[in-house]
Amino acid sequence: MKTEICIGTLEAVRIVSKQKIDRIETCIALEQGGLTPSKAMVSWIHNTFHLEQHALIRVRAGGFVYNYDEIVVMRDQILELKDSGIKGFVVGALTSDFKLNLETLETWKRTAPHLDFTFHRAFDSIVDWKTAIDQLVKMGFKRILTSGSAQNVNQGMNHLKELVAYSDGRIEIMAGGGVKEELISALKATGIDAIHFSGTSLVKVETGTAFEENLLLLDEHKFSSILAAIQT
């Protein structure tokens, strides 16, 4: 069972790097579902920790239907990051009727054809998931990150089994979204290829100042407990 840790801060990657993990997904602003990290951040992680790293490409929060300008900027983010030592990108784009935006996805993939591409949880908004899997396989995507077309993996547990059965080894199915220590045994039983989690907790910082914020920061105890359950 592969483990992928979603990293949103430099402090988090330093903590995670001390453990035996398979790869990380690098992003910023986990409170907004994750946004594209800077080239400096991605390069520093690669040069300092030599972890298998996949970078999220997402120019803004708020859904996955993008206009022309956003699509071009995200293409340019891929161009900027593709030679930073990373193994792949995590992307997702939909049409207004919740199908894969094939033209956009093919454009992004052609921008870095030598790297792995993961389709993220935008997949969980797609109704015709069988067609989507077939299309992602045809485009050469490496894996799909999904909660089983539900709000979280607990609610999507049964559908995860269907996704694994239909994909039939043609593309990896990675479960993520609301992963908890007590769910690991059931997740393993679905036959998924990997588990994706952040191990974060909501923390209020700069309390009482003009810069008070609620941030999702790595909870070292939660992270270690989930990882131990996966590796048992």
Which domains, and CATH codes, for the chain? 2-231 (3.20.20.380)
Residue 70 — very low, low, confident or very high, per pLDDT cuts 50/70/90?
very high
In contact, 104 and 69? CB cutoff 8 Å: no
pLDDT at 26: 98
Q: How do residues 113-130 score in pLDDT, each as one tens digit?
A: 999 999 999 999 999 999
- Measured distance CA(57)–CA(73) in Å, rounded: 10
Where on the phi/psi map is residue 72: left (φ > 0), alpha (ψ -120 to 50), or beta? alpha
Q: Residues for the chain: how many in total?
A: 232
Average pLDDT value for the chain: 97
* Assigned token pair, 209: 């100042």
pLDDT at 69: 98
- Measured distance CA(89)–CA(62) in Å, rounded: 19
